[in-house]
């Protein structure tokens, strides 16, 4: 199975600052013919189900604030939260869907410093 | 509105069986792949199975293959997870999730989850 490894496991960021979360896959999740990246990001707040933020590595889901952005290709991806707000406190997960067996990263907890 | 509601979670003995259900509303159920994802207490998300809209193609995580079966009834807009030979490590909240029609993989609608506890 493809292993997704996120870093760091947790981070504390001041309000209004930037949070950066990394996700590395053990195999490429990019389609060689068109460079499309089969990578999604989710946000999960305590007591709630996950919420899809980004797919195709950089496409924001409808309604997601533009302070959330995704980048990367191949095996290395990044979720950036610019201008961190109090409501962004959550655990963030990456997920690959390139292979038939989908896998999530272990999660990154974002807190306010 | 678009909604997924899971049911069927309960306390079950190791080695036992359980069938989870997920009732969908507010969208064309048959057009979407559907998936089950679980979350053990205090742990991260674990994808466990998905099924194509027609029901003729399924995939499972290694941890549940051969024990769990995902199925659907498009006439009833329902998704199911038959769980056999349950183990303590299957204890988790089980989420039903709709797979985005824009990209067969990201899950864009989630239920609130149903709790399965495997214990003697």
For B13-24, the pLDDT digits (tens) are 999 999 999 999
pLDDT at A35: 83
pLDDT at B104: 80
Question: What sign does the dihedral A37-A59-A92-B98 (CA atoms) show?
Answer: negative
Rg of chain A in Å (alpha carbons): 13
Sites in chain A below the pLDDT cut of 70: none
Give Cα A63 to chain centroid, integer Å.
Answer: 16
Mean pLDDT of B95-105: 90
Composition of chain B by helix, strand, coil, percent to 5: 5, 50, 45
Q: What is the percentage of chain B residues whose pLDDT exceeds 90?
A: 96
Helix ranges, B32-81 (H): none
* Average pLDDT in chain B: 97
Please tell me if residue B62 touches chain A, with a CB cutoff of 8 Å: yes
Question: Which of B46, B50, B108 lies closest to A52 in CB terms?
Answer: B108
Residues of B in contact with A52 (CB under 8 A): 100, 106-108
Contact of B69 with B102, CB cutoff 8 Å: no
Query: Cβ–Cβ of A97/B95 closer than 8 Å?
Result: no
3-state SS assignment for residue A19: strand
Query: Cβ–Cβ of B44/A42 closer than 8 Å?
Result: no
Please tell me if residue B45 touches chain A, with a CB cutoff of 8 Å: yes
pLDDT at A32: 80
Minimal C-alpha gap between B87 and chain A (Å): 21
- What does the block give as tokens for B100? 């985005």
Integer Cα distance of A96 and A11 in angstroms: 22
The CA–CA distances, whole Å, from A46 to A53, B41, B109 equal 16, 12, 17
């Amino acid at each position: 199975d493809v292993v997704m490894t996120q870093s760091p496991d947790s981070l504390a960021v001041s309000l209004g600052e930037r949070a950066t979360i990394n996700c590395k896959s053990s195999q490429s999740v990019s389609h060689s013919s068109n460079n499309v990246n089969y990578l999604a990001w989710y946000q999960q707040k305590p007591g709630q189900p996950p919420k899809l933020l980004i797919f195709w590595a950089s496409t924001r889901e409808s309604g997601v604030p533009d302070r959330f952005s995704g980048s990367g290709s191949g095996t290395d991806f990044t979720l950036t939260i610019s201008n961190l707000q109090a409501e962004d406190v959550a655990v963030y997960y990456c997920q690959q869907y390139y292979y038939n067996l989908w896998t999530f990263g272990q999660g990154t907890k974002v807190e306010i410093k | 509105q678009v909604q997924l509601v899971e049911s069927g979670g309960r306390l079950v003995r190791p080695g036992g069986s359980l069938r989870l259900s997920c009732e969908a509303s507010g969208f064309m159920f048959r057009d979407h792949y559907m998936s089950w994802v679980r979350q053990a207490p205090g742990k991260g998300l674990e994808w466990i199975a998905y099924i194509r809209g027609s029901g003729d193609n399924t995939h499972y995580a290694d941890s549940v293959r051969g024990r769990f079966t995902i199925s659907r009834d498009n006439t009833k807009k329902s998704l199911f997870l038959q769980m056999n030979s349950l183990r303590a490590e299957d204890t988790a909240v089980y989420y039903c999730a709709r797979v985005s029609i824009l990209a067969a993989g990201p899950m864009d609608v989630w239920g609130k989850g149903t709790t399965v506890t495997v214990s003697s």
